[in-house]
Homo-oligomer: A and B are copies of this chain.
Amino acid sequence: MPLLLHYPLCPHSRFVRLILAELGVDAELIEERAFDRRPEFLALDAAGRTPVFVDDDETIVPSAVIAEYLDETYGAGRGAQRLLPTETQARIETRRLVDWFNVKFFEEVTGWLVTEKVYKRFSPQGGAPDMDLVRVARANIRHHMRYIGHLTSHRNWLAGDRLSYADFAAAAHLSCADYLGDVPWEEDEAAKHWYQRVKSRPAFRSLLADRAPGMAPGPFYALLDF
Protein backbone atom coordinates (compact mmCIF):
# COMPACT_ATOMS: atom_id res chain seq x y z
CA MET A 1 0.00 0.00 0.00
CA PRO A 2 1.28 3.51 -0.77
CA LEU A 3 2.43 5.57 2.19
CA LEU A 4 1.93 9.27 2.86
CA LEU A 5 4.05 11.01 5.47
CA HIS A 6 1.98 14.08 6.26
CA TYR A 7 1.17 16.63 8.91
CA PRO A 8 -2.51 17.37 9.62
CA LEU A 9 -2.25 21.17 9.39
CA CYS A 10 0.35 21.22 6.58
CA PRO A 11 -1.52 22.62 3.54
CA HIS A 12 0.70 20.76 1.07
CA SER A 13 -0.09 17.49 2.83
CA ARG A 14 -3.80 18.30 2.65
CA PHE A 15 -3.56 18.93 -1.09
CA VAL A 16 -2.22 15.41 -1.58
CA ARG A 17 -4.73 13.85 0.85
CA LEU A 18 -7.59 15.43 -1.12
CA ILE A 19 -6.23 14.11 -4.42
CA LEU A 20 -5.76 10.60 -3.01
CA ALA A 21 -9.31 10.57 -1.65
CA GLU A 22 -10.80 11.96 -4.86
CA LEU A 23 -8.91 9.40 -6.97
CA GLY A 24 -9.89 6.63 -4.54
CA VAL A 25 -6.27 5.67 -3.84
CA ASP A 26 -5.89 3.95 -0.49
CA ALA A 27 -2.74 5.04 1.27
CA GLU A 28 -1.42 4.61 4.77
CA LEU A 29 -1.17 8.00 6.46
CA ILE A 30 1.64 8.53 8.95
CA GLU A 31 1.96 11.79 10.83
CA GLU A 32 5.39 13.37 10.45
CA ARG A 33 6.51 16.40 12.43
CA ALA A 34 8.99 17.72 9.87
CA PHE A 35 10.18 20.32 12.38
CA ASP A 36 11.65 17.51 14.52
CA ARG A 37 14.06 16.79 11.63
CA ARG A 38 14.09 13.02 12.18
CA PRO A 39 17.20 11.57 10.45
CA GLU A 40 15.13 8.77 8.85
CA PHE A 41 12.78 11.40 7.43
CA LEU A 42 15.64 13.54 6.09
CA ALA A 43 17.06 10.41 4.45
CA LEU A 44 13.78 10.05 2.54
CA ASP A 45 13.60 13.72 1.58
CA ALA A 46 16.69 15.91 1.76
CA ALA A 47 14.44 19.00 1.76
CA GLY A 48 12.82 17.73 4.99
CA ARG A 49 9.30 18.88 4.15
CA THR A 50 5.91 17.21 4.32
CA PRO A 51 4.32 15.56 2.44
CA VAL A 52 6.41 12.61 1.27
CA PHE A 53 4.67 9.93 -0.78
CA VAL A 54 6.12 6.43 -1.14
CA ASP A 55 4.66 4.19 -3.82
CA ASP A 56 6.04 1.17 -5.61
CA ASP A 57 9.49 1.73 -4.03
CA GLU A 58 9.65 5.31 -5.30
CA THR A 59 9.87 8.27 -2.93
CA ILE A 60 8.04 11.24 -4.40
CA VAL A 61 8.36 14.88 -3.28
CA PRO A 62 7.23 17.67 -3.11
CA SER A 63 3.44 17.99 -3.36
CA ALA A 64 3.39 19.38 -6.92
CA VAL A 65 5.45 16.42 -8.13
CA ILE A 66 3.24 13.98 -6.20
CA ALA A 67 0.22 15.52 -7.96
CA GLU A 68 1.80 15.02 -11.40
CA TYR A 69 2.75 11.45 -10.48
CA LEU A 70 -0.74 10.60 -9.21
CA ASP A 71 -2.28 12.01 -12.38
CA GLU A 72 0.04 10.00 -14.62
CA THR A 73 -0.44 6.74 -12.72
CA TYR A 74 -3.88 6.70 -11.08
CA GLY A 75 -5.58 9.56 -12.93
CA ALA A 76 -4.83 8.69 -16.53
CA GLY A 77 -7.91 6.48 -16.98
CA ARG A 78 -10.45 9.08 -15.84
CA GLY A 79 -10.98 10.78 -19.22
CA ALA A 80 -13.00 13.96 -18.85
CA GLN A 81 -12.93 13.53 -15.04
CA ARG A 82 -9.16 13.83 -14.99
CA LEU A 83 -8.08 16.26 -12.29
CA LEU A 84 -5.23 17.53 -14.45
CA PRO A 85 -7.15 18.08 -17.69
CA THR A 86 -5.71 16.88 -20.99
CA GLU A 87 -6.45 19.97 -23.14
CA THR A 88 -3.51 22.36 -23.44
CA GLN A 89 -5.28 25.51 -22.26
CA ALA A 90 -6.86 23.76 -19.28
CA ARG A 91 -3.54 22.15 -18.28
CA ILE A 92 -1.84 25.55 -18.33
CA GLU A 93 -4.54 27.15 -16.21
CA THR A 94 -4.79 24.27 -13.75
CA ARG A 95 -1.04 24.13 -13.21
CA ARG A 96 -0.82 27.93 -12.93
CA LEU A 97 -3.38 27.95 -10.13
CA VAL A 98 -1.87 24.96 -8.34
CA ASP A 99 1.40 26.90 -8.27
CA TRP A 100 -0.46 30.07 -7.23
CA PHE A 101 -1.76 28.42 -4.07
CA ASN A 102 1.14 26.12 -3.27
CA VAL A 103 3.78 28.82 -3.76
CA LYS A 104 2.29 32.33 -3.70
CA PHE A 105 -0.60 31.79 -1.27
CA PHE A 106 1.73 29.76 0.96
CA GLU A 107 4.37 32.55 0.91
CA GLU A 108 1.81 35.25 1.66
CA VAL A 109 -0.71 33.50 3.91
CA THR A 110 -0.53 29.86 5.03
CA GLY A 111 3.25 29.78 5.51
CA TRP A 112 3.00 32.54 8.13
CA LEU A 113 -0.18 31.24 9.77
CA VAL A 114 0.92 27.65 10.13
CA THR A 115 4.49 28.48 11.16
CA GLU A 116 3.48 31.04 13.76
CA LYS A 117 0.39 29.35 15.18
CA VAL A 118 1.03 25.63 14.74
CA TYR A 119 4.68 24.72 14.17
CA LYS A 120 5.93 27.08 16.87
CA ARG A 121 3.45 25.59 19.33
CA PHE A 122 4.48 22.02 18.76
CA SER A 123 8.15 22.40 17.85
CA PRO A 124 10.82 22.09 20.56
CA GLN A 125 12.45 25.30 19.18
CA GLY A 126 9.07 27.04 19.16
CA GLY A 127 8.01 30.10 21.07
CA ALA A 128 5.16 32.57 21.02
CA PRO A 129 3.60 33.36 17.64
CA ASP A 130 4.74 36.64 16.10
CA MET A 131 1.37 38.37 15.82
CA ASP A 132 2.74 40.96 13.37
CA LEU A 133 3.31 38.16 10.87
CA VAL A 134 -0.14 36.71 11.58
CA ARG A 135 -1.64 40.13 10.85
CA VAL A 136 0.25 40.35 7.55
CA ALA A 137 -1.20 36.97 6.56
CA ARG A 138 -4.70 38.08 7.57
CA ALA A 139 -4.38 41.20 5.40
CA ASN A 140 -2.98 39.24 2.43
CA ILE A 141 -5.70 36.59 2.47
CA ARG A 142 -8.35 39.21 1.61
CA HIS A 143 -6.81 39.78 -1.84
CA HIS A 144 -6.80 36.06 -2.46
CA MET A 145 -10.46 35.71 -1.42
CA ARG A 146 -11.39 38.34 -3.99
CA TYR A 147 -9.26 36.62 -6.62
CA ILE A 148 -11.00 33.29 -5.95
CA GLY A 149 -14.32 35.11 -6.12
CA HIS A 150 -13.37 36.78 -9.40
CA LEU A 151 -12.43 33.44 -10.97
CA THR A 152 -15.39 31.45 -9.67
CA SER A 153 -17.96 34.08 -10.61
CA HIS A 154 -16.94 33.54 -14.27
CA ARG A 155 -16.35 29.80 -14.14
CA ASN A 156 -17.95 26.68 -12.80
CA TRP A 157 -14.79 25.66 -10.93
CA LEU A 158 -11.55 27.49 -10.21
CA ALA A 159 -9.65 26.62 -13.40
CA GLY A 160 -12.64 26.24 -15.73
CA ASP A 161 -15.69 24.10 -16.38
CA ARG A 162 -14.51 21.09 -14.48
CA LEU A 163 -13.25 20.26 -11.03
CA SER A 164 -9.44 20.09 -11.10
CA TYR A 165 -6.28 20.07 -9.03
CA ALA A 166 -6.64 23.86 -8.81
CA ASP A 167 -9.74 23.51 -6.61
CA PHE A 168 -8.00 21.07 -4.29
CA ALA A 169 -4.84 23.18 -4.00
CA ALA A 170 -6.85 26.29 -3.10
CA ALA A 171 -9.16 24.40 -0.73
CA ALA A 172 -6.26 22.64 1.00
CA HIS A 173 -4.66 25.98 1.89
CA LEU A 174 -7.95 27.66 2.81
CA SER A 175 -8.91 24.74 5.04
CA CYS A 176 -5.76 25.26 7.14
CA ALA A 177 -6.45 28.98 7.48
CA ASP A 178 -10.08 28.12 8.33
CA TYR A 179 -9.02 25.70 11.06
CA LEU A 180 -7.09 28.61 12.59
CA GLY A 181 -10.13 30.91 12.29
CA ASP A 182 -8.36 33.18 9.80
CA VAL A 183 -10.57 33.10 6.69
CA PRO A 184 -12.69 36.25 6.23
CA TRP A 185 -15.72 34.49 4.72
CA GLU A 186 -17.62 37.77 4.50
CA GLU A 187 -15.04 39.14 2.04
CA ASP A 188 -16.43 37.50 -1.09
CA GLU A 189 -19.71 35.62 -1.62
CA ALA A 190 -18.61 33.79 -4.78
CA ALA A 191 -15.47 32.52 -3.06
CA LYS A 192 -17.52 31.30 -0.11
CA HIS A 193 -20.00 29.45 -2.35
CA TRP A 194 -17.20 27.82 -4.31
CA TYR A 195 -15.56 26.63 -1.06
CA GLN A 196 -18.88 25.22 0.20
CA ARG A 197 -19.09 23.10 -2.95
CA VAL A 198 -15.53 21.77 -2.65
CA LYS A 199 -15.97 21.17 1.07
CA SER A 200 -19.09 19.07 0.45
CA ARG A 201 -17.17 16.48 -1.53
CA PRO A 202 -16.61 13.14 0.21
CA ALA A 203 -12.85 13.61 -0.34
CA PHE A 204 -12.98 16.44 2.21
CA ARG A 205 -14.36 14.41 5.11
CA SER A 206 -11.13 13.20 6.65
CA LEU A 207 -9.75 16.76 6.72
CA LEU A 208 -12.80 18.01 8.57
CA ALA A 209 -12.26 15.36 11.25
CA ASP A 210 -8.66 16.50 11.96
CA ARG A 211 -8.03 17.98 15.39
CA ALA A 212 -4.72 19.39 16.62
CA PRO A 213 -4.09 18.65 20.32
CA GLY A 214 -5.19 21.58 22.47
CA MET A 215 -6.29 23.67 19.48
CA ALA A 216 -10.02 23.74 18.71
CA PRO A 217 -10.84 24.53 15.08
CA GLY A 218 -12.44 27.82 14.03
CA PRO A 219 -16.24 28.09 14.34
CA PHE A 220 -17.02 27.27 10.68
CA TYR A 221 -14.41 24.61 10.18
CA ALA A 222 -16.55 21.47 10.15
CA LEU A 223 -19.82 23.06 8.99
CA LEU A 224 -20.84 22.32 5.40
CA ASP A 225 -23.33 25.17 5.44
CA PHE A 226 -21.72 28.20 7.08
- Residues of A at the B interface (CB closer than 8 Å) are 46-47, 58, 60-62, 64-65, 68-69, 72-73, 88-89, 91-92, 95-96, 99-100, 103-104, 147
Given A64-B99, A96-B62, are A72 and B88 also a contact pair (CB < 8 Å)? Answer: yes
Which residue of B58, B91, B95, B104 contacts A92 across the interface (Cβ within 8 Å)? B58
Residues of chain B with a CB closer than 8 A to A64's CB: 64, 95, 99
Q: CB distance B99 to A58 under 8 Å?
A: no
A37 CB to nearest chain B CB (Å): 14
Q: CB distance A68 to B95 under 8 Å?
A: yes
Given A64-B99, A95-B65, are A88 and B47 also a contact pair (CB < 8 Å)? Answer: no
A15 CB to nearest chain B CB (Å): 14
| Bound-complex Cα distance A62 to B58 (A) | 27
Can you name 16 A-B residue pairings with CB atoms under 8 Å? A47-B100, A47-B104, A58-B88, A58-B89, A60-B92, A60-B96, A62-B96, A62-B99, A62-B103, A64-B64, A65-B95, A68-B95, A69-B88, A69-B91, A72-B88, A72-B91
- Residue ID in chain B nearest A94 by CB atoms: B65
| Bound-complex Cα distance A58 to B93 (A) | 10
Which residue of B73, B89, B104 contacts A88 across the interface (Cβ within 8 Å)? B73
Residues of chain B with a CB closer than 8 A to A46's CB: 147
- Residue ID in chain B nearest A49 by CB atoms: B104
| Bound-complex Cα distance A224 to B158 (A) | 47
| Bound-complex Cα distance A103 to B136 (A) | 22
Residues of chain B with a CB closer than 8 A to A61's CB: 96
